[in-house]
C-alpha cells in the first residue's frame, strides 16, 4: 500500500476523466456520481496519508514510462499540503459546478477536462523529480485550455489563445532549465538539492532565472500575468479552479520546489537571487492590487486580486527564513479558501441575480444574505482582518521579514493591506448599505450552489481561529519547515 496509495490518489481523478469523456450528454446522474465519487475517495485517501506522513511514513513509487524515463511519485509533507487543498476544493467545486451548469450541453467534455485538470494538479503535487513535475506541469496546461475556451464564444476563445501564448514560452523556458541543469547534475530528485559544483555561479543564476520564468507564468508574476484576467471569460467554476486550486497554485508551488528542492535555500542566498525574486513578488503584490482598484467587473477585480495575493507565497519562499516560509506556505491554503469563496459568490450573483458588474451589487445583502455574508468574510479575510486566514499569513510574513533583516517588506504588506481594503470595502458597502434598484433580482433557492461557498467561508474563519492547533494549515506548514525546509 505504501507504493500503491500515490497511484490510487492519481487514479481517483484520471478514471472519472477517462470515463466522462465518453459518456452521452444525457447521462447526468452517472457523470455526476463518477466525479463526486472520485472526489470523495481522493479526499479519504489523502486524510489517511496525512495521518501516516504526520507520524513519519514515506510513500514513493516509480513508474517506468520509456527507456530512461521514470515517473516518480513521492509523498512528502509539502506535497500533502498542496494535494489536500486540491482534493478538498475539488469536491466543493464539483458540487458547485453540478448546480451551476444544471443540464446544459457539453458537460461530458467539461467534466472530463475538469477531472483531468485535477489529476494534473495532483500529479504535480506528488511529483518526486524534476522531470515528473514537468510532465504534469504540461498536462495541466493542456487540460485547462479547453476549460477556459468552454463557452466557445469570441471572448473565451481569445482568452484561451492568450493563455497558450503565455504558457507555451514558459514551458520552453522550464524545459531548457531542466535540460541545462540535469546535463551537469543528472536527474534531480525532490529529496535533497543536487550537487551544483559542476556549474559556475553565473550559469546557476541563468538557470534559476529560466526556472522562475517557466513557473512564473502560471504564478502570474508581473509581467507574466496578462493571461489571468483575460481567462475570466470562462464560467465561474473554471475561474474558481484556476485561482484557488490549480494553475496559479501550481506556479507558486513550483517556485517553492525550485528554491528549496532544486537549488536549496543556502545556494539561493549565496547566488544573491532570492532578494531580486522577493522584489519581483513585492512589485506583483502592489501592482495587482492597484490594477484591481481599476476594474468595474467583479470577476476582473478578483482576478487582479489573485495576481497580488499569490505572490505572497512567492515572497515567503524568496525571503528564505523560517517564519517567512511558514507564512508563504500557509497562504497557499488560506488564499485558496478565501479566493474560491469569492469566485463562488461571484458566480452566484451572476447566475441568480444577473449581476456581473460592481454597481449591480447594491442592496444584494438583503436579497441574498447567505451569499453576501460569505463574500464579505472572504473579502475581510483578504484584507487581513484578525483572526481570519489572511491575517495569519500576513503576520508570519511580517515576522519572517524582520527575522531575515528585510524590514522593507513590512511596507509592502502594509501597502497591500490598504489597497486590499480600498478595492474590497466599497463592494461590501454596496452590498449592505446601498438600496437595491427597483427592478433588482436575486434569490438563493439553490442550496447546492450556495452550500460550497458557506463551507469555504467558514473555513476562512476557522483556519484563523484554530491556527494554534497542530492540525491546522499553520500547524502543517510549521511541520514542513521544521522537518526539512528550515534554511
Q: How far is CA 64 from CA 18, 67, 73, 132, 133, in A?
A: 21, 8, 11, 11, 15
Share of the chain above pLDDT 90, in %: 63
Q: Phi and psi dihedrals of 59, rounded to 5? A: -125, 125
Question: What average pLDDT score do residues 74-82 get?
Answer: 89
How confident is the model over 366-395, as a mean pLDDT?
94
pLDDT tens-place string over residues 299-332: 999 999 999 999 999 999 999 889 999 999 999 9
Tell me the three cell numbers of residue 482.
Answer: 521544521
How many residues belong to the chain? 487
C-alpha cell at 394: 500576513
What is the crossing angle of helices 369-383 and 322-353, to 10°? 150
Contact yes or no for 437/363 (Cβ under 8 A): yes
Q: What are 11-32's pLDDT values in tens digits?
A: 999 999 989 888 887 788 888 8
pLDDT band at residue 289 under the 50/70/90 scheme: very high
Q: How far apart are CA 233 and CA 187, in angstroms?
A: 40
Three-state SS at 70 = strand
With a cut of 60, say whether residue 103 has pLDDT above it: yes
Q: Cα–Cα distance between 135 and 401 in angstroms, integer?
A: 34
| Mean pLDDT to the nearest integer, 424-453 | 86
Per-residue pLDDT tens for 184-239? 998 899 888 888 888 999 999 999 999 999 999 999 999 999 888 888 777 888 88
C-alpha distances (whole Å) from 11 to each of 4, 58, 446 are 10, 19, 31
Residue 484 has a pLDDT of 67
pLDDT top residue among 84 and 444: 84
335, 456 Cβ separation under 8 angstroms:
no
CA dihedral 461→463→466→468, nearest 10 degrees, is: -140
For residues 131, 132, 133 and 135, what is the CA-based torsion angle, rounded to 10 degrees? 90
What integer is the mean pLDDT of 130-134? 94
Tell me the backbone φ, ψ of residue 161, rounded to 5 degrees: -65, -40
pLDDT at position 37, please? 92
The whole-number pLDDT of residue 486 equals 47
Q: Looking at residue 275, what is its pLDDT?
A: 95
Cell 476594474 locates to: 295
Amino acid at each position: 500500500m505504501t507504493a500503491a496509495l500515490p497511484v490510487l490518489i492519481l487514479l481517483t481523478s484520471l478514471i472519472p476523466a477517462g470515463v466522462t469523456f465518453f459518456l452521452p450528454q444525457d447521462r447526468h446522474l452517472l457523470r455526476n456520481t463518477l466525479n463526486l465519487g472520485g472526489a470523495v475517495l481522493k479526499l479519504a485517501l489523502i486524510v489517511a496519508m496525512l495521518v501516516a506522513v504526520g507520524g513519519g511514513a514515506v510513500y514513493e513509487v516509480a513508474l517506468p514510462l520509456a527507456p530512461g524515463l521514470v515517473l516518480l511519485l513521492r509523498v512528502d509533507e509539502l506535497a500533502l499540503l498542496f494535494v489536500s487543498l486540491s482534493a478538498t476544493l475539488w469536491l466543493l467545486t464539483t458540487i458547485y459546478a453540478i448546480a451551476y451548469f444544471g443540464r446544459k450541453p457539453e458537460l461530458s467534455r467539461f467534466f472530463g477536462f475538469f477531472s483531468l485538470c485535477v489529476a494534473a494538479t495532483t500529479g504535480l503535487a506528488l511529483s518526486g523529480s524534476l522531470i515528473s513535475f514537468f510532465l504534469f506541469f504540461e498536462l495541466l496546461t493542456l487540460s485547462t485550455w479547453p476549460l477556459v475556451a468552454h463557452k466557445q464564444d469570441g471572448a473565451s476563445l481569445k482568452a484561451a489563445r492568450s493563455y497558450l501564448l503565455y504558457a507555451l514560452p514558459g514551458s520552453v523556458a522550464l524545459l531548457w532549465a531542466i535540460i541545462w541543469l540535469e546535463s551537469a547534475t543528472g536527474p534531480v530528485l525532490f529529496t535533497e538539492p543536487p550537487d551544483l559544483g559542476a556549474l559556475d555561479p553565473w550559469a546557476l543564476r541563468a538557470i534559476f532565472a529560466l526556472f522562475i520564468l517557466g513557473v512564473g507564468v502560471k504564478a502570474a508574476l508581473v509581467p507574466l500575468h496578462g493571461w489571468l484576467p483575460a481567462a475570466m471569460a470562462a464560467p465561474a467554476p473554471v475561474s474558481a479552479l484556476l485561482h484557488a486550486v490549480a494553475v496559479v497554485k501550481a506556479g507558486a508551488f513550483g517556485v517553492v520546489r525550485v528554491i528549496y528542492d532544486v537549488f536549496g535555500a543556502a545556494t539561493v542566498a549565496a547566488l544573491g537571487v532570492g532578494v531580486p525574486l522577493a522584489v519581483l513578488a513585492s512589485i506583483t503584490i502592489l501592482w495587482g492590487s492597484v490594477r484591481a482598484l481599476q476594474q468595474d467587473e467583479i470577476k476582473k477585480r478578483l482576478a487582479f486580486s489573485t495576481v497580488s495575493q499569490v505572490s505572497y507565497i512567492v515572497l515567503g519562499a524568496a525571503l528564505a527564513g523560517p517564519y517567512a516560509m511558514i507564512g508563504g506556505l500557509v497562504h497557499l491554503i488560506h488564499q485558496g479558501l478565501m479566493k474560491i469563496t469569492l469566485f463562488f459568490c461571484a458566480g452566484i450573483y451572476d447566475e441568480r441575480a444577473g449581476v456581473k458588474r460592481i454597481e449591480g451589487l447594491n442592496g444584494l445583502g438583503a436579497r441574498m444574505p447567505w451569499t453576501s455574508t460569505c463574500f464579505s468574510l472572504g473579502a475581510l479575510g483578504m484584507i487581513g482582518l484578525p483572526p481570519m486566514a489572511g491575517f495569519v499569513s500576513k503576520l508570519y510574513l511580517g515576522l519572517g521579514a524582520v527575522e531575515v533583516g528585510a524590514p522593507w517588506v513590512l511596507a509592502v504588506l502594509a501597502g497591500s493591506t490598504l489597497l486590499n481594503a480600498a478595492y474590497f470595502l466599497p463592494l461590501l458597502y454596496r452590498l449592505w448599505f446601498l438600496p437595491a434598484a427597483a427592478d433588482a433580482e436575486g434569490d438563493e433557492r439553490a442550496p447546492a450552489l450556495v452550500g460550497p461557498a458557506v463551507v469555504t467561508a467558514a473555513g476562512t474563519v476557522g483556519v484563523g481561529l484554530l491556527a494554534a492547533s497542530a492540525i491546522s494549515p499553520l500547524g502543517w506548514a510549521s511541520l514542513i519547515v521544521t522537518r526539512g525546509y528550515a534554511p
